[in-house]
Structure 1
Amino acid sequence: MGHVEINGAPACVEALHRAATWNYGHFTSMQARRRTVAGLDLHLRRLREASADLFPERTPPADRTIVELIEHALGAARDASVRVTVLPAAADPTATDVMVSVSDPVPDTPGEPLRVRTIVYERELPHLKHVATMGLTYHYRAARRAGFDDVLFTTRNGQVSEGSVWNVAFWDGERVIWPDAPQLAGITMQVLRLGLKKLGVPYEQRRLSTAALAGMRAAAAVNSHCPNQPIAAVDDVALPDHRTLTGLLREAWQQVPWDTVAAGRQPGSDS
């Protein structure tokens, strides 16, 4: 499985070249299961707010239009990886184009615990999931060459922020801790917070220095591919006791209903 559509039509070479050359836009990624998506309304809000930020002079795509384009691109597929990218339209300076990429689904089961290293890196416009990803990809590849599995970013003043393409959750033995630093508010992180609240599991967002990680018992990477990927170590800080945290995150993930991808759905409707 794998194809790309722009505004509901198969993407031509010229359109793909333009998207790659301009390198200006934003996107959101999701996993579809049985034609439902976790946090679909959160994805739509992300696209709406990012469009207002990056394209204030252009008309943003309506939520209904985006859902229709996702539904169309899925075709007969029930399970898939979906990426929705909003780009400036070439022919109309007041409009935007919506590119929907569909590929094989990714299993959401955790892999072996990750060994990650920290690096000082702050994404431009960190609150946006934008297409300028060279920096984070460079640092991910550098970490892999150095023998690590992935990379965890810190700010210039030593505060933990986010992973390469994931948010990070920590467990201090009593509550889930999310770093408070400039970062992307990941959809999976938002869904997990809703689930944790339903379970009555305490969580908080606070500033975390790299030195503070020695006081944590566990850590996990969370994104649309997996809501509870355990982290074995950050630099030389071992975090081996991940079962409580990853179990809570998995249970929280299961608390939130998935939304049906259908043009006629109402915002906030359950699957």
Structure 2
Amino acid sequence: MSVYCNGHRASADDLAGALVNYGHFTSLQVRGGAVQGLDLHLRRLRQGTEELFGSTLDVTRVQAWMQAALQAEDVVDASLRVTVFSRAFDFRKPLQVVPVDVLVAVSAPVTLPATARRVRSVVYQRELPHLKHVGTFPLFEHRRQALQAGYDDAVFVDTQGAISEGTTWNIAFGRGGDLVWPQAPALRGTQERLLQAGWGGEPQLAPVRLDDLAGFDAAIACNAAGVWPIGSIDGVAFPGSEAVCGKAKAVLLQAPWDSVLG
């Protein structure tokens, strides 16, 4: 992995500033110098900056820094993580207006295998769930605990059993030809938005509880790295997940790619 800060290769001082656990990010998969849903990623970064720092992020400059990082690494296929933080942020004075900094991390491209996952439910909700913030410790720990228990991952529910999202992914449920997205506080992902736009008709948003799972025949998970079938949640099986995942992949193949390289 190579890391750049504000357009130049990151120094130790730059990275030391990023150790403060306050900021937000987006993760992108680049293929041929292009990204699906680039505008969604940039909008996420702009909105997160306004909420966490009270300032406006120049997304045109951010895109230029993404381009510069790819060119410096001489790659057109890559994983990018763009993190907005501030080396000047002081947790003792959190209302102080400070300039923001942008880290662009470049690593090898990732494509997740579309194998069915056995998932267990966990009562948990992320802090500020609508933001893709850097507070990721609980997500990884819940996934780790699920693996220790013999599952592949975890999905979050509230105390009433309402499903929100997976550890690092969104979830949707299939019933017939319909796709239902749980209506609960969660990070609204870029792949989720692309699937909703390409599925046909108005996106179906509805509360989905653990008690409702038997009424669905399929479930899929998605994030910027791809889409994959959910085989079961807490032992409730979804026999149609592979087929729905295949349709979702076909929908995503039709989503446009936006050039990062200009």
Q: TM-score, normalised by structure 1?
A: 0.90
Q: Which residue of 2 aligns with 1:253?
A: 252
Contact preservation (8 Å) 2:157, 2:163: yes
Structure 1 runs of 4+ aligned residues shifted over 6 Å read none
Structure 2 distance, partners of 1:133, 1:23, is: 10
Structure 1 unaligned spans of 5+: 264-271
Contact preservation (8 Å) 2:147, 2:153: yes
| Residues 115-147 of structure 1: per-residue CA shift (max 9 Å, x gap) | 000000010000000001111111111101111
Structure 2 distance, partners of 1:107, 1:243, is: 17
Q: Which residue of 1 aligns with 2:51?
A: 53
Q: Which residue of 2 aligns with 1:240?
A: 239
Q: Which residue of 2 aligns with 1:215?
A: 215
Structure 1 distance, partners of 2:61, 2:261, is: 11
Q: Which residue of 1 aligns with 2:189?
A: 186
Structure 2 distance, partners of 1:241, 1:233, is: 11
* Structure 2 residue identity aligned to 1:143: A
Structure 2 distance, partners of 1:77, 1:160, is: 39
Structure 1 distance, partners of 2:160, 2:25, is: 29
Deviation at 1:109, TM superposition (A): 4.7
Deviation at 1:108, TM superposition (A): 4.9
> What is the SS of the residue equivalent to 1:84?
strand
Say if 2:146 is the partner of 1:151: no
Structure 2 unaligned spans of 5+: 90-95
Percent of pairs with identical residues: 42
Q: Which residue of 2 aligns with 1:267?
A: none
| Residues 193-237 of structure 1: per-residue CA shift (max 9 Å, x gap) | 11113xx5x6401000101011110111100111x2011110110
| Residues 36-87 of structure 1: per-residue CA shift (max 9 Å, x gap) | 000000101011111110011xx43311101001001111211000000000
Q: Which residue of 1 aligns with 2:139?
A: 136
Deviation at 1:244, TM superposition (A): 2.6
Say if 2:67 is the partner of 1:71: yes
Contact preservation (8 Å) 1:60, 1:95: no
Q: Which residue of 1 aligns with 2:107?
A: 103
Q: TM-score, normalised by structure 2?
A: 0.93
Aligned partner of 1:175 among 173, 178, 200: 178
Q: Which residue of 2 aligns with 1:33?
A: 31
Deviation at 1:94, TM superposition (A): 3.0
Structure 2 distance, partners of 1:61, 1:262, is: 20
Structure 2 distance, partners of 1:195, 1:252, is: 6
> What is the SS of the residue equivalent to 1:252?
helix
Q: Which deviates further from its counterpart, 125-134 or 153-162?
A: 153-162
Deviation at 1:14, TM superposition (A): 2.3
Q: Which residue of 1 aligns with 2:93?
A: none
Structure 2 distance, partners of 1:195, 1:83, is: 25
* Structure 2 residue identity aligned to 1:155: D
Structure 1 distance, partners of 2:52, 2:215, is: 39
Say if 2:16 is the partner of 1:17: yes
Q: RMSD of the alignment, in Å?
A: 1.5
Structure 2 distance, partners of 1:137, 1:108, is: 17
